[in-house]
Each structure stands twice: as structure tokens, then as C-alpha cells.
């Protein structure tokens, strides 16, 4: 179609819109090195117009075509169909139709073996099958009934099991019928055909309506239960085959995406009709008129400018910028409409649904909640970026044509993607357009034109009072007066404490917009679930990185910066293998704990971290604020704080419980892992995993039990004693403590919610639900005929003693610090927090007895008895991770508020916190003198590198390249005709020196504890025992705890036997060259590191 012919303009506009949309897809493809394929709704509609049957396998009845492929999907058919060729449907029956659909899938649905790219293509094709509705399912059911009339149900049921094991042994007809029903059940009902029991087929043979479309949901509930969202059998018939497990996993991943969309709908209930992507056909008919009006306006501007008619001021500057653009006015209108609408549809979700508050002043416009809005800044910058990218495509196309002419070959398309990828990396485009001072005014001009040109026709009676009318167009057939009304408005609103400009899409325009499922899926991010199969092995450094889930892509390294060139320079394969190992450890939900948790919720007991259903009552409020005492103010503040906390605690708890209920019948689940930039490993599923809080840990246990053996019961008792807060006793004393409480533990297992039982387990210091789980298992072991052969599921934890300080003490060979954190052997475990507390007590006692400015506050601290272990613990724990003086003060203040918040005024608590935090930091320096010297050396190193605008980088002992990703945010201010725009969020090329310096010491230590964990994991893998890690807490079966204890000590000694600091300094000196020099390393202490091999309590 021609852009010069008014009659052809709508078709031309659609073709340009489609062309631009395809370019955006190719841009994304080149950016992520990934290509997509799907059957467009337009292609399917075209097929249905040309064929009397809407869905069938197609054959060609034209003599002109020669050798034609026997089976083609709709996209391929449209691609090959010649002008005038007749396409007819071959009525080969439902099974033949579905056989065609199955053959066109990129993977066999009964096997599901392939890479993530193939699974992504499969998901797109399955969506096409899903859109066809249940008609094909009904046809497949009829064919299955016919088969049941031909063959006995027992043989059909056996044939189904054979189909998923050795499909080639079945006849083609039987395979087609089974495959047809399987595909439709898989897609339409999220059900596996192999799960259906024989009894169903027996009833089905006698009654063709037995499995009508309304019966399938009932069967789903019978098979999987009403307390789960996923197709996991309530009564498993043995362990799933690998193919069946993969099929369940794919359904879970597809349902996870659907659940994310449903959550989105629920969160945006008031804006359901406004949450669409602008590029769909039903929306194009609305905004295409706006784009046409914009094109006419821009054309008029260009004509007037060419004739010498100039406009002064910012408006004239914007007009000149528009004239310099090499893009057609029609395309500028399309890009502006689509970009602004897409940002409007998605902005509130990305911003957390923040409500706009009316500004009480000259800006009195109100944005109702049901309206869609986007910040003016976001719209302008998005339009500017989109136009810049389209302009860049023009350059790419010119270069491609210079290399390949007008060829559309694969080589030409590949060249185009490579050129675009290079352009994206270098951020080059049309000279000058990537500069905000030019691109932002251009974006502002296009948005301004959209606001003035976008009109909708609405019923005058539907307008709100006070809304301005532009022009009455006509009277409808029923006498309704239609008016032309602006679709958008620009208004200033208060957002929190800021006044922000917004573009609002009026309700009249929203009524013409709709939302489609597949498009919404592009905007939501599903919350990953545990897996039913082992995660994919990680391939982080190839051309197409993949790992983890079957079709959902996750990053190997958790970072906002997707560009990871160092993954190719320094191979992370060793780290990847460790992640594969710990991700392949099978877990399962502890149903006994889940049942007790359900009862706690039902009775609203509010114990063991389960939040109450109701908020705490507010005390009576005095008539005037002057009547408030300091204690009453503190009490009010604490209650308000607790109410705010419950707002997040309740949904967080419910999400954990929901996932546990979903997988309670799973025989085993797996947690894929990835790492942060320091190498610390994290499970990908966010809600239920072993790295989370006590509720999650209590709900999980190893899926593969192991007999306790001769030493397992002892370690099980030690684990329970640790959870009860007895971890500072010797191992023998911990065992004795549990033996003495045997009758209480058995009573807890018998009735966990009795008053006495709750008092024991629900108040456990280090994990109530884990304590209850150990009580259950320990009681079962005591009651078993042979304790040594008892199969244990519970993981045993070995925790490091302030692990960060352990690494500091080993780096500096600090003998005094090593003793405090159990790096050297001792008869009883040392408690570094008590060591520091005793020094603080001595200092406070000295200040209280001597006259000085701290005497009064020291006496007050002693009188209130606040010098407790918990007051110093957090600061000691975080000192090696970069806690500042202000941070230490806040930590101490929080603990003091919990202890004496209702006795002392907030002002006095702040003064005491400042005093005690200073003493705690001084005491730590005394105990870990050499460690603090190394920390100061780290600070000097980061200062030197930051002064050269170089990020701090290092390679961990396990070969992972680490780079601190801290850069300054770049802010540019641009004036437009509507308002000033502050553009932020981009990373400047300059380093954030403060964050680089502050982050290096803790990040380096974190990389060491991550390396230690991976070395321990490798050692456990070599010894054939299961392993799970939570940074500085290592888990295994009770029977293997002694082996794990040995591996921990050996790998710690192996790690720190390397000259880690010397290697770091050498690497940095090579990196710096002659530009700068680094200070010499601090002198090491006299610690004999081999003593670590004899320490029983290094991890206990």
C-alpha cells in the first residue's frame, strides 16, 4: 500500500505497525541472542477465511506447486502459499488433525527432550492449541470412546502406558487416538493421560458421556486434590518415569505463568480493561486514527518549516528536531502511540500500584483509580528511545543492503542481527540522537502532538461533570449525542512528597482497549516454583546460556547487568558444576509439620512466627497530645510498627504455606540455584526453599532417607540441642540435655499444641518449626525396633562460629581472633559474642565508677540490665561485612527498644545506643586487631582503584570472576514545553566511590565463604553424601554429619593454605600497571593454620 493514497493509508499504517513490531522482536532477539517463532492470530484468521474448516491438517490441491510438504503449520502454509493457489482442508478426522498438530510441535509432547529454546517454541505453539478451546478435546474424547468399544479397557489402559514408554509398538491408529487425547488434556485440562486409572476407562466404555467436558475438572480433583494447583497425584503409583516427571514439570511452569497473570488481574482489578498491549488488532483500530492525525500534523510542520515559516521558543526548537528526523510521519505516529500506550498499561504494575494523591493547591486535577496513567517523564523518554532505535534500524538496513543488496537470505538476516547487536552494545545511532539534550525534546514534541491529536467519540451523557467538550460530532441513531473528546490529559499530581507530571488515558479511551492473555504474559514475571525433575545443567558461558528450568529462563548470576563478558574470559564451569550438584539434591515437604501449621492457623494461635489474623488493638487515645507520656508514645509507636509488619508478614506466610500445600504430595522436589556476583549460591524459587526462614526450613526435609547408623542418633540430638539454644555446650553436654528431656520431647510429638508442648518447641531460640520436626523424628527413632536402621529424613546443620570473622582470622593468621571463633581446638566451644560482651561490660563498669561524661549513662545501662549477648551479637556478626558506626548504633538501638522500650524514653535509648555501639566497636578491634588491619587494607585498595575509575575486581579461589557493579546514577535535566524533566536511572561510566570502598571488604569475605561452601560441596560429592548449604551453614544426613565435619575442616585448611591476599595484590598490581601502587600487605600473625584440622567446633 502507498503512503500517499488516503484510501490505502489504513493498510499502509498496519503494514508499518507490523514492520516496526517485528523490528522490536528482532532487536530483543539480537540483544538476548535468541530467536522466536510463533503463529500469528492474523495468519490463523487468514487460513480460516480461505478454508471451510477452521482447524485441520492442510493439503495442497494445486498442480502448480510440485513437491509440497505433507504437513505444514499455519505459518508455513501462509509463507509458501502462491497467489491464486487453492488450499483445501483434508477431513482426515480428529486424530489425524491432532496428529498434524503434534507433528508440528518442536518437541514430542510425550517425551519433552530438548533445550530451552525448543521449550520456548513449544510453549508458543501450545498457546495456539489452547486458544482453540475444548472443541478438539470433545472430538478426541469421542474417538477414545470408539476405541474403547473396539478394545477392552484393560488393553487401552495398557496401551496408554506403552505409548509413553515405547510408542512404536502400537498401531498408528491407536497411537493417534491416544496422542490426540493426551495433547488436548495436557493443554486444555493440565492433566496427564497416564494418571487416569483403569476404572475411568471401564465406566467410559459403557457411557460415552461419562467423560464429558464438565467431568474433567471433577476427575482432576479426584486425582490431584483440591489443595494444590498442580497435577501431582495424591496417591502416587510408584515413582514417575523421567518423561512423566518432565511433563508434570512443564505443566507447572505453564501454570506458573498463568498464575502470575491471574495475580496481576487481581492486583489490578479496577483496571482490567485497561491493561492491554497497544499492538493488538482490537487496539489498533482505536489508536490508528490518532497516528494518522499525528502524521498529518507532522507533515504540516515539515511543510511550513520548508516554506520558511518559523515558530520561536521551545516549540520552534521541537519542530526543527522533528524535521531533522529521517522517519516517515506515519511511522512516527505509530511509534508514539504504541510506546505511550504500552507504558501506560504496564506502569502501575512496575511501580507497585502506587496511588496518586491529590495535590491540595493550584493543581487540583484528580486521577481516579480506574484510570491508567504514566509519568510524563517515562512516556517522553520511552518515545525518545523507541524513535532512536527505529532510526538506528535505518542505518542497519542501509549497511545490510550495502553488503547483501535486497536479498532476504538467512545470511542477510544474520548480518542484520549482528549489526543490530553491535549497535546496541556500542549505543550508536544517528549522530547526536543518543544525547538526552536532543532526544528528550524530540520525545516531548511527539507526546505533545499525541495529546493534541488523540480524540475519541463518546456519549456526552457519560462524561464527568466539568470535563471539557471539544466538538459535537453527530447524534446517534437513538438520539445519543456523540462528542469528540481528548483521549489523554497532562496533569500534575502529588506522588508521596513529590509533585510529578502524569499523562492520563481517559476512561472513554480505555473502554475501547482490551487485554489478551499472550500479550500480558510478556509483561509479567512468574514466581518460580520448586521443580519435580532435576534442574537443567548450567551452561553459563556458551553462545546460548541456559540452565535450571525446562522453559523459563533464569540468570546464572543475579545482577541487573545482563552483560557478563567475564563469564567467557574466566570460565565459571567449576561453579556451575557445584550448582548442578546442590540443585540435584531431592527434597520433600514435611506433611506432619504442615498439618500442625494448618491447625495453628485455624485456631489463630499466633505462635512460632505464624502471624495472627487480627491486628493488635490500639490503646485509648488521650484527648490531647500533651497528655501523652513518653511510655505511651513508645507503646503507640510499637503497636503501629507491629501493624505495619503484619501487612507484609501475613501474605509472605501464606505464600510459603501455599507452595508447601501445592507440593505436599510430591515424592521429591528440587531447587535450582544461581549465584550473585560474589559467588554466593541461592535457590531460585523465592517462597519455599531451605535458605529461607524457620517456617520454610521446618517444612522441608530430605526426600531420600538414610539409616542413622552408629553415630546418627547422637548428631540428631546435637541438632535438637542447637535449636534449643544449647550450642555453646560441648557435644556431650548437648546430648545429655536432650536425653534428660526425653519424656518432654515424646509428649511434644504426641500432642504438639498442648500448653506444655508449645512452651518447649514454640519458644525455641533458633527455630521453633525445625525444633518440632526434630522432636517428631527423634521420637520415631526412639520408638523404632532398631535405632541404627531407622531411616532419617531430617537435615543436620553445622553452623560456622561468626564465619566472616573466621575468614578474617585465617587471612591474618590472628591467633587471638582464631581462638574466639573456634579455629583452634578447645574442650568447649568459644562464644565470640560473649567474649566481646565481657569486654564491653568491663568498660561500662569502669565508666560507671569514674567521674566523666559517660558516668550517668553507664550507670543507667547497668541498672536496666541491658548488657546482654543479643545486644552485641548483630554488630559482631556484621563487623566483617562493613557495618558503619551509624549502622551499629541502629542495631543496638533496635535491641534496646525491645528490652526497655516501655521503660525509657526514645531519646534516652538513642543516647545509650550511641554509647554502647561505640564500646562494642572498640572491643571488636581489641579482639580482632589483625582482622581490622586487613579491613583497612581493603579500604585502601578500593580507594586506589576508584580514583582510577576502575571497579574492584578479583577472581575467587574456585575461579569465579567477581566485579563490583557499583556505578553512579546519571541525571540529566531537560526543559520541554510542558515541564522540566530529570532523567535518571542510567549508569554513568564513573564509579560510585563510596559504595566501591564500603562494599569491597564484605564482598571479598562473602566470596571466600562462598568458595569454602563450594569446596565443601565438591568434597561431599566425592564422598557420595548429600549436601545443602546456606552460606555459612552446611547440612547433610545425621549418619553423615561426622564426615561433613571432617570435610569442612579439610576444605577450610585447603582454602586458606593458599596465599589469598598475596594473589589478590599481585592480580591488582598487574591490572593497575604503572598507573598506581598498592600498600604492602599487613604482617601476618603466628596462628598455626593446621590447628584448624583439630578443631571440633569450627562448624558445630
Which residues are bridge partners to 226 per DSSP? none
Is the CB of residue 403 less than 8 Å from the CB of residue 415?
Answer: yes
The rounded Cα 676 to chain-centroid distance in angstroms is 13
The CA angle 725-795-602, to the nearest 5 degrees, is: 75
Gap between the Cα atoms of 511 and 177, Å rounded: 44
Q: Could you tell me where the DSSP H helices lie in 850-905? A: 855-863, 869-878, 885-900
Is the CB of residue 656 less than 8 Å from the CB of residue 666?
Answer: no
Residue 701 belongs to what H/E stretch?
A: strand 700-702
Residue 120 belongs to what H/E stretch?
A: helix 116-131
**Residue 873 known to be catalytic:** yes
Other residues' Cβ atoms within 10 Å of the Cβ of residue 1099:
24
Is the CB of residue 690 less than 8 Å from the CB of residue 702?
Answer: no
Gap between the Cα atoms of 1071 and 898, Å rounded: 49
φ/ψ of 381, rounded to 5, equals -65, -35
Is the CB of residue 553 less than 8 Å from the CB of residue 116?
Answer: yes
Gap between the Cα atoms of 701 and 471, Å rounded: 70
593: its cell numbers: 509439620
Rounded to 10 deg, the angle between the 376-404 and 9-32 helix axes is: 90
DSSP letters for 533-549: SPPEEEETTSSS-EEES
Strands (DSSP E) contained in 704-850 are: 706-707, 791-792, 795-799
φ/ψ of 86, rounded to 5, equals -95, 130
Gap between the Cα atoms of 726 and 738, Å rounded: 10
Gap between the Cα atoms of 125 and 119, Å rounded: 10
The CA angle 272-277-282, to the nearest 5 degrees, is: 85
**Residue 1088 known to be catalytic:** no
φ/ψ of 456, rounded to 5, equals -130, 150
Q: Choose among 398, 262, 390, 413: nearest CA to 327.
A: 390
- Lookup result for grid cell 510498627: 641
Other residues' Cβ atoms within 10 Å of the Cβ of residue 420:
23
**Structural Rg of the chain based on CA atoms:** 34
Rounded to 10 deg, the angle between the 832-849 and 906-927 helix axes is: 120
Gap between the Cα atoms of 1028 and 1041, Å rounded: 12
Choose the catalytic residue: 843, 873, 889, 935.
Answer: 873
Q: Specify the pairing of strand 557-558 against strand 673-676.
A: parallel
Is the CB of residue 439 less than 8 Å from the CB of residue 49?
Answer: no
Gap between the Cα atoms of 1041 and 796, Å rounded: 7
Choose the catalytic residue: 711, 766, 799, 939.
Answer: 799
Q: Choose among 1034, 1031, 1035, 1033: nearest CA to 1006.
A: 1031
Q: Specify the pairing of strand 1028-1029 against strand 1033-1037.
A: antiparallel
Gap between the Cα atoms of 128 and 74, Å rounded: 10
According to the 3-state scheme, what is the secondary structure of 962-1008? EECCCEEEEEEEEECCCCEEEEEEEEEEEECHHHHHHHHHHHHHHHH
The rounded Cα 1029 to chain-centroid distance in angstroms is 20
Choose the catalytic residue: 125, 182, 1032, 1040.
Answer: 1032
Residues belonging to the active site: 799, 873, 1032
Amino acid at each position: 500500500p502507498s503512503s500517499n493514497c488516503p484510501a490505502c493509508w489504513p493498510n499502509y499504517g498496519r503494514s508499518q505497525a507490523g514492520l516496526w513490531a517485528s523490528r522490536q522482536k528482532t532487536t530483543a532477539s539480537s540483544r538476548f541472542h535468541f530467536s522466536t517463532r510463533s503463529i500469528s492470530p492474523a495468519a490463523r484468521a487468514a487460513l480460516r477465511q480461505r478454508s471451510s474448516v477452521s482447524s485441520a491438517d492442510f493439503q495442497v490441491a494445486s498442480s502448480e506447486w510440485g513437491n509440497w510438504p505433507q504437513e505444514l503449520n499455519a505459518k508455513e502454509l501462509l509463507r509458501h502459499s502462491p497467489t491464486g493457489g487453492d488450499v483445501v482442508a483434508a477431513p482426515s478426522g480428529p486424530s489425524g488433525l491432532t496428529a498434524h498438530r503434534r507433528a508440528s510441535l518442536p518437541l514430542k509432547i510425550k517425551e519433552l527432550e530438548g533445550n530451552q529454546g525448543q521449550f520456548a517454541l513449544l510453549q508458543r505453539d501450545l498457546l495456539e492449541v489452547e486458544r482453540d478451546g475444548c472443541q478438539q478435546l470433545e472430538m478426541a474424547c469421542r474417538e477414545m470412546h470408539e476405541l474403547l468399544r473396539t478394545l477392552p479397557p484393560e488393553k487401552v489402559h495398557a496401551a496408554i502406558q506403552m505409548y509413553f514408554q515405547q510408542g512404536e509398538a502400537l498401531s498408528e491408529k491407536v497411537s493417534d487416538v491416544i496422542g490426540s487425547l493426551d495433547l488436548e488434556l495436557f493443554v486444555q485440562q493440565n492433566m496427564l493421560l497416564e494418571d487416569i486409572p483403569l476404572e475411568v476407562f471401564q465406566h467410559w466404555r459403557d457411557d460415552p458421556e461419562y467423560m464429558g467436558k464438565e467431568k474433567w475438572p471433577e476427575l482432576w480433583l479426584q486425582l490431584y486434590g483440591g489443595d494444590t494447583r498442580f497435577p501431582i497425584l495424591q496417591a502416587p503409583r510408584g515413582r514417575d518415569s523421567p518423561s512423566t516427571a518432565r511433563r508434570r514439570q512443564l505443566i507447572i511452569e505453564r501454570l506458573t505463568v498463568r498464575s502470575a497473570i491471574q495475580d496481576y488481574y487481581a492486583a489490578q482489578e479496577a483496571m482490567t480493561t485497561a491493561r492491554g498491549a497497544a499492538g493488538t488488532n482490537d487496539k489498533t483500530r482505536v489508536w490508528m486514527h490518532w497516528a494518522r492525525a499525528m502524521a498529518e500534523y507532522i507533515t504540516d510542520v515539515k511543510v511550513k518549516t520548508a516554506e520558511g515559516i518559523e515558530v520561536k521558543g521551545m516549540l520552534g526548537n521541537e519542530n526543527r528536531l522533528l524535521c531533522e528526523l529521517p522517519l516517515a510521519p506515519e511511522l512516527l505516529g505509530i511509534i508514539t502511540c504504541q510506546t505511550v500506550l504500552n507504558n501506560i498499561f504496564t506502569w502501575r504494575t512496575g511501580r507497585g500500584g502506587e496511588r496518586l494523591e491529590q495535590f491540595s493547591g493550584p493543581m487540583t486535577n484528580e486521577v481516579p483509580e480506574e484510570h491508567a496513567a504514566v509519568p510524563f517523564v517515562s512516556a517522553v523518554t520511552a518515545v525518545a528511545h523507541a524513535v532512536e532505535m527505529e532510526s538506528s534500524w535505518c542505518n542497519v538496513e542501509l549497511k545490510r543492503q550495502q553488503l547483501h543488496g535486497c536479498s532476504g537470505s538467512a545470511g542477510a538476516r544474520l548480518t542484520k542481527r549482528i549489526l543490530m547487536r553491535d549497535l546496541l552494545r556500542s549505543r550508536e545511532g544517528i549522530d547526536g540522537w543518543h544525547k538526552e539534550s536532543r532526544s528528550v525534546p524530540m520525545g516531548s514534541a511527539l507526546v505533545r502532538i499525541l495529546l493534541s491529536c488523540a480524540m475519541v467519540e463518546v456519549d456526552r451523557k457519560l462524561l464527568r461533570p466539568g470535563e471539557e467538550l471539544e466538538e459535537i460530532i453527530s447524534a446517534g441513531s437513538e438520539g445519543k449525542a456523540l462528542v469528540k473528546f481528548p483521549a489523554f490529559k497532562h496533569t500534575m499530581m502529588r506522588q508521596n512528597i513529590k509533585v510529578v507530571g502524569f499523562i492520563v488515558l481517559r476512561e472513554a479511551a480505555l473502554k475501547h482497549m482490551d487485554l489478551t492473555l499472550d500479550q500480558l504474559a510478556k509483561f509479567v514475571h512468574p514466581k518460580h516454583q520448586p521443580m519435580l525433575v532435576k534442574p537443567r545443567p548450567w551452561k553459563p558461558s556458551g553462545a546460548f546460556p541456559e540452565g535450571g528450568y525446562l522453559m523459563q529462563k533464569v540468570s546464572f548470576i543475579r545482577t541487573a547487568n545482563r552483560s557478563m563478558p567475564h563469564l567467557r574470559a574466566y570460565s565459571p564451569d567449576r561453579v556451575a558444576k557445584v550448582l548442578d550438584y546442590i540443585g540435584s539434591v531431592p527434597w520433600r515437604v514435611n506433611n506432619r509439620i504442615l498439618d500442625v501449621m494448618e491447625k495453628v492457623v485455624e485456631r489463630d494461635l499466633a505462635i512460632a512466627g505464624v502471624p495472627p489474623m487480627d491486628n493488635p488493638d490500639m490503646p485509648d487515645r488521650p484527648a490531647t497530645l500533651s497528655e501523652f507520656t513518653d511510655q505511651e508514645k513508645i507503646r503507640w509507636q510499637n503497636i503501629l510498627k507491629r501493624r505495619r509488619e503484619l501487612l507484609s508478614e501475613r501474605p509472605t506466610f501464606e505464600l510459603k504455606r501455599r507452595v508447601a500445600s501445592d507440593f505436599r504430595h510430591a515424592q521429591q522436589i528440587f531447587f535450582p540455584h544461581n549465584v550473585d556476583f560474589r559467588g554466593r549460591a541461592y535457590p531460585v524459587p523465592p517462597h519455599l526453599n531451605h535458605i529461607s526462614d524457620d517456617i520454610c526450613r521446618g517444612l522441608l526435609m530430605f526426600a531420600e532417607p538414610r539409616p542413622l547408623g552408629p553415630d546418627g542418633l547422637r548428631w540428631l540430638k546435637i541438632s535438637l540441642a542447637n535449636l534449643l539454644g544449647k550450642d555453646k555446650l560441648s557435644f556431650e553436654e548437648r546430648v545429655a540435655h536432650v536425653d534428660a528431656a526425653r519424656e518432654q520431647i515424646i509428649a511434644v510429638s504426641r500432642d504438639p499444641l498442648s500448653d506444655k508442648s508449645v512452651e518447649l518447641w514454640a519458644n525455641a531460640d533458633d527455630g521453633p518449626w525445625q525444633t518440632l520436626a526434630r522432636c517428631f523424628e527423634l521420637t520415631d527413632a526412639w520408638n523404632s525396633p532398631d535405632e541404627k536402621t531407622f531411616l532419617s529424613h531430617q537435615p543436620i546443620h553445622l553452623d560456622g562460629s561468626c564465619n566472616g570473622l573466621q575468614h578474617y582470622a585465617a587471612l591474618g593468621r590472628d591467633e587471638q581472633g582464631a581462638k574466639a571463633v573456634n579455629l583452634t581446638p578447645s574442650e568447649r566451644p568459644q562464644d565470640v559474642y560473649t567474649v566481646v560482651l565481657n569486654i564491653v561490660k568491663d568498660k561500662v563498669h569502669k565508666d560507671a565508677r569514674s567521674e566523666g561524661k559517660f558516668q550517668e549513662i553507664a550507670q543507667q545501662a547497668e541498672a536496666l540490665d541491658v548488657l546482654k549477648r543479643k545486644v552485641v551479637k548483630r554488630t559482631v556478626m556484621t563487623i566483617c561485612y562493613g557495618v558503619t558506626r551509624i549502622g551499629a548504633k541502629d542495631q543496638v538501638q533496635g535491641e534496646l527498644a525491645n528490652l526497655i522500650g516501655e521503660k525509657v524514653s526514645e531519646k534516652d535509648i538513642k543516647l545509650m545506643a550511641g554509647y554502647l555501639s561505640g564500646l562494642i566497636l572498640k572491643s571488636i578491634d581489641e579482639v580482632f586487631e589483625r582482622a581490622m588491619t586487613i579491613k583497612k587494607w581493603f579500604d585502601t585498595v578500593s580507594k586506589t582503584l576508584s580514583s582510577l575509575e576502575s571497579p574492584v575486581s578479583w577472581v575467587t579461589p574456585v575461579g569465579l570472576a567477581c566485579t563490583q557493579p557499583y556505578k553512579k546514577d546519571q541525571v540529566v535535566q531537560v526543559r520541554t514545553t510542558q515541564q522540566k524533566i530529570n532523567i535518571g536511572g542510567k549508569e554513568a561510566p564513573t564509579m560510585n566511590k563510596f559504595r566501591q570502598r564500603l562494599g569491597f571488604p564484605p564482598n571479598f569475605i562473602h566470596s571466600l565463604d562462598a568458595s569454602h561452601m563450594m569446596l565443601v560441596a565438591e568434597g561431599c560429592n566425592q564422598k557420595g553424601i548429600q549436601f545443602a548449604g546456606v552460606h555459612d551453614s552446611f547440612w547433610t544426613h545425621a549418619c553423615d554429619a561426622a564426615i561433613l565435619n571432617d570435610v569442612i575442616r579439610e576444605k577450610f585448611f585447603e582454602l586458606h593454605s593458599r596465599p589469598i591476599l598475596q594473589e589478590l595484590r599481585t592480580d591488582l598490581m598487574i591490572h593497575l600497571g604503572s598507573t598506581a601502587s598498592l600498600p604492602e600487605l599487613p604482617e601476618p600473625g603466628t596462628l598455626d593454620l593446621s590447628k584448624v584440622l583439630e578443631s571440633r567446633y569450627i562448624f558445630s
